[in-house]
A and B are shown apart, each in its own frame.
Chain A
């Protein structure tokens, strides 16, 4: 605790505070640009920090990571183009809200949810890093498999209209996630000789195609209607459309709490990442909701659920990094490089060897959460002007940004082909009533399930009786069975018309 106070004293110098704010601001801007994610932003910024002193450098980089996790909601809400994959679920309800003239409300809710998730997760890091981390090591592949299987049952809750169609969509996502080098033998699987598919189907072009491009294709069929709507979309028609009201807080509050919790857990577990966190949180919010039919049409709690989890993953993924030296996410893996570069070896020794620096990092992270709130509110004012632009101008611009994002993240023209192919698939899926969200959840969670399943088979030596040594896994397997049973019952009773 004392170190934390010393740390605060350290960061309240003009230079360090300046670097934190600069990091958050750059991150927020980069996050808001479609196709440039936090990993890219931090990686590109690392060489810039070579000449800085360690605390300033690390504070700057963490600021970028936090800023871009929050900023990616902006383009998701305003343009329906997620700034990075983990903000794809934000677009599902954020964009409909913007279309209803509630862009200001959606942006603010996204920011508040981000800041709360981020702040709570940072506190979890400060308080729990040491005690929790040794526990995280005990959670092996067998337990992770059980947790992931349980989380996949949220798919059931997302399939209010038709459980079979929902499950088919999720399975299709899992099927396509198997494309690429097979994890155990390293041999290409379902790549059809296409060299670019060795690393699997790239997620960003796929998500952009399925969400943004498909949406525009679907809208192109009703141009006149859209022209009329454009005249109606103006900011500030009603004061309540531009702020988060008490009613919104009551709706979104539980989603933020759940989202933060899910984000923290996903962050601590190795190899899952922010996308898994935000998709699962969105799925959980929808399956918990009494009015799941509002989701996808502008439910404020959907935005809150996705963004709180997205941001909570970032600090939580540093828990295993700080306490054990294990990176919990891509961003943590990148930060290892940066930490080492500045003479800080992540791991348990860090607390005894450089307590003052660790205190400083904690303080900087807490300060970055606060900075995020300020920077976000300032920048949103500018970004929200996008809503005053007629949709006829926005659509070609967005398509242009989609193409750029797909090109950058999908390895050139190949990414654009992926984007177009999945746009077509999504149009067909929507027309025939299959859930695109379920598909994406299957695609994001699928590889983690496969890896942990194969690891589990080896660890258990192929004998289910060896599960006895993994009580946590047993608990989650039982919960999974109960959830499947419950959804099955619900689907049987529910009238077919609700969605």
Chain B
């Protein structure tokens, strides 16, 4: 309660300063209009070196180029970005602490965990930059090429192995199995590299992929997009929703700030992100990570975040997943 009051006061103060500044004009230029006047810190919720880190660092560099201020990357790994989000929430909303993270840490965690030390309302969203081509993939040697073929094969060969990376990724296999009355066994793997290993080593026939499969076009085939819209990298493959099972869940990378950042700052961040999306250096990095660029502005990102949260909660609830 006190917190939100503080925020309201801060916002009020900021608006008043701005109004005063506008009124007084040249005499007292508001500090806000000059943002950024010092280096910005960007939190990355993953260890250095992973996809999220490398992409985030490229974004930080591009933002620094556009704004003319250094952007310092701070890695704060833990709970798929959750530890860093909990920290971001406590930072001052002045635009000097920002975070670049996949959206699902915010839009999916509440469906899985009872105690999440942050909520969607704790942050402002300055925009979305890239999209994840989440898909159900199969090893290239699998004796089927599409979803219908997969279901038929699974009916004849119960116990087909599916490589899952986490609780969420299990849900897809469980739901597909339940909807079609087939038996899919789940084999746990350790992250994206573990999935690639299980696919190339042909230890599992099916897998969940967050987009890394684009790197192995002749080793894996896409069976269905597990998002609500078709994947950018494989536009011919239908979504799981089109195939009659509305369990698609989207994920984008989002630029996040603590709640209550001055509107002008958020606006400028959003515009900067639009320029980053056009930045040649960033495009090169994103392409090498197979992260399709799909810029969404601040307003659109906020809408998308709330929509995504609602959708994910509904999907997980329908699947019978209770927050733990």
Binding site for B on A (CB under 8 A): 39-40, 42-44, 46-47, 50, 137-138, 140-141, 181, 183-188, 193, 195-196, 198-199, 270-271, 324-327, 330-331, 333-334, 337, 340-341, 345, 347, 411-412, 451, 454-455, 458-459, 461
Nearest-Cβ distance from residue A186 to partner chain B, whole angstroms: 3
Contact A50 B281 (CB under 8 A): yes
Minimal Cβ-Cβ distance residue in A for B199? A326
Would you mind naming 22 contact pairs between A and B with Cβ atoms under 8 Å apart?
A: A43-B48, A50-B284, A137-B200, A185-B167, A186-B167, A187-B324, A195-B83, A195-B86, A195-B115, A199-B77, A325-B215, A326-B196, A330-B49, A331-B49, A334-B49, A334-B50, A337-B49, A337-B289, A340-B289, A341-B284, A411-B83, A461-B185
Contact of B215 among A40, A345, A451 (CB under 8 A): A345
Cβ-based interface call for B197 (8 A): yes
Residues of A within 8 A of B50 (CB): 333-334
Residues of B within 8 A of A333 (CB): 49-50, 193
Nearest-Cβ distance from residue A46 to partner chain B, whole angstroms: 6
Cβ-based interface call for B150 (8 A): no
Binding site for A on B (CB under 8 A): 47-51, 53-54, 57-58, 61, 75-79, 82-83, 86-87, 112-113, 115, 117, 159, 161, 164, 166-168, 170, 185-190, 193-194, 196-197, 200-203, 215-216, 281, 284-285, 288-289, 324
Closest 5 pairs (CB-CB, A-B)? A186-B167, A43-B48, A334-B49, A340-B288, A43-B49
Nearest-Cβ distance from residue A456 to partner chain B, whole angstroms: 10
Contact B77 A459 (CB under 8 A): no
Residues of B within 8 A of A46 (CB): 54, 57
Contact B77 A454 (CB under 8 A): no
A331 to B189, CA, bound (A): 19
Contact A337 B78 (CB under 8 A): no
Minimal Cβ-Cβ distance residue in B for A338? B54
Contact B82 A195 (CB under 8 A): yes
A183 to B197, CA, bound (A): 16
Contact of B197 among A196, A198, A270 (CB under 8 A): A270
Minimal Cβ-Cβ distance residue in B for A184? B188
Contact of A137 among B113, B161, B186, B201 (CB under 8 A): B201
Nearest-Cβ distance from residue A349 to partner chain B, whole angstroms: 9
Number of contacts between A and B (CB, 8 Å)? 130
Contact B216 A325 (CB under 8 A): yes
Nearest-Cβ distance from residue A269 to partner chain B, whole angstroms: 10
Residues of B within 8 A of A461 (CB): 159, 185
A451 to B203, CA, bound (A): 14
Minimal Cβ-Cβ distance residue in B for A50? B281
Nearest-Cβ distance from residue A474 to partner chain B, whole angstroms: 18
Residues of B within 8 A of A50 (CB): 61, 281, 284-285
A270 to B189, CA, bound (A): 11
Residues of A within 8 A of B47 (CB): 39-40, 43
Contact A459 B200 (CB under 8 A): no
Contact B166 A186 (CB under 8 A): yes
Contact B193 A326 (CB under 8 A): yes
A183 to B86, CA, bound (A): 23
A83 to B269, CA, bound (A): 38
Minimal Cβ-Cβ distance residue in B for A46? B54
Minimal Cβ-Cβ distance residue in B for A339? B288
Contact B167 A187 (CB under 8 A): yes
Nearest-Cβ distance from residue A314 to partner chain B, whole angstroms: 14
A412 to B75, CA, bound (A): 10
Contact of B78 among A43, A183, A188, A199 (CB under 8 A): A199
Nearest-Cβ distance from residue B323 to partner chain A, whole angstroms: 10
Nearest-Cβ distance from residue B109 to partner chain A, whole angstroms: 10
Residues of B within 8 A of A186 (CB): 112, 166-168, 170
Known: A43-B54, A181-B166, A459-B161. 11 other contacts (CB 8 A): A43-B48, A50-B284, A186-B167, A187-B324, A270-B193, A337-B288, A340-B215, A411-B78, A412-B87, A451-B188, A458-B186
Contact of B187 among A340, A347, A412, A455 (CB under 8 A): A455
Residues of A within 8 A of B196 (CB): 325-326
Minimal Cβ-Cβ distance residue in A for B218? A349
Contact B203 A459 (CB under 8 A): yes
Residues of A within 8 A of B193 (CB): 270-271, 326-327, 333
Known contacts A47-B57, A330-B49, A411-B76; is A324 also within 8 Å of B190 by CB? no
Contact B48 A40 (CB under 8 A): yes
Contact A325 B58 (CB under 8 A): no
Minimal Cβ-Cβ distance residue in A for B288? A340
Residues of A within 8 A of B53 (CB): 43
A217 to B189, CA, bound (A): 40
Contact B79 A198 (CB under 8 A): yes
A345 to B78, CA, bound (A): 29
Known contacts A47-B57, A458-B186; is A271 also within 8 Å of B194 by CB? yes
Nearest-Cβ distance from residue A382 to partner chain B, whole angstroms: 27
Contact A188 B324 (CB under 8 A): yes
A46 to B288, CA, bound (A): 13
A411 to B202, CA, bound (A): 36
Known contacts A46-B57, A340-B288, A455-B187; is A141 also within 8 Å of B203 by CB? yes
Residues of B within 8 A of A184 (CB): 164, 186, 188
Nearest-Cβ distance from residue A238 to partner chain B, whole angstroms: 43
Residues of B within 8 A of A271 (CB): 190, 193-194, 197
Residues of B within 8 A of A44 (CB): 48
A181 to B61, CA, bound (A): 33
Contact A196 B170 (CB under 8 A): no
Minimal Cβ-Cβ distance residue in A for B187? A458
A138 to B57, CA, bound (A): 36
Known contacts A198-B79, A326-B196, A458-B187; is A140 also within 8 Å of B161 by CB? no
Nearest-Cβ distance from residue B158 to partner chain A, whole angstroms: 11
Minimal Cβ-Cβ distance residue in A for B289? A337
Contact B203 A140 (CB under 8 A): yes
Contact B187 A459 (CB under 8 A): yes
Contact B187 A39 (CB under 8 A): no
A473 to B263, CA, bound (A): 62
